[in-house]
Amino acid sequence: MQFHDTLKKKMDAFVHLVYRITKDFPKSELYGATSQLCRVALSVILNYIEGYARKKHLVKINFFETSYGSLQESKYLLEFALKENWIQESDYKATFQLVEEVGAMLWRTNEHLSRDM
């Protein structure tokens, strides 16, 4: 349970950080990159929570893999935002650090579930 709580806290911190930094994205990107990055960041934690609530291993794995995929999508969008000078280097580093930590934890979770089958 402690692992799960730690992972959820990191995911929550990631979502809130993404929402904070996207407030400074160009207004022209409100329905583009801003919306996509916010949605995909939320998708990371929402898919994890839904998967955690499921009983069947294959269903859990599917939701956790979707969560991991959304995390990787957000990673690209953050890199894109940095190259477009929409975010500061310090914000990028902070979000990238969380992406790496959450990604490693999700990967371990998926590997553990896959071995149990």
Q: How confident is the model at residue 117 (pLDDT cuts 50, 70, 90)?
A: low
Dump the DSSP string for the chain.
-HHHHHHHHHHHHHHHHHHHHHTTS-GGGTTTHHHHHHHHHHHHHHHHHHHHT--SHHHHHHHHHHHHHHHHHHHHHHHHHHHTT-S-HHHHHHHHHHHHHHHHHHHHHHHHHHHT-
pTM, rounded to two decimals: 0.92
pLDDT at residue 51, as a whole number: 95
Give me the domain span that covers residue 66. 2-115
Q: Reply yes or no on whether the pLDDT at 103 is more than 70.
A: yes
Q: Tell me the mean pLDDT in the region 44-65.
A: 95
The CATH number assigned to the domain holding 81 equals 1.20.1440.60
Q: Reply yes or no on whether the pLDDT at 52 is more than 70.
A: yes
Average pLDDT, the chain: 95
Counting the structural domains of the chain, the total is 1
Q: How confident is the model at residue 57 (pLDDT cuts 50, 70, 90)?
A: confident
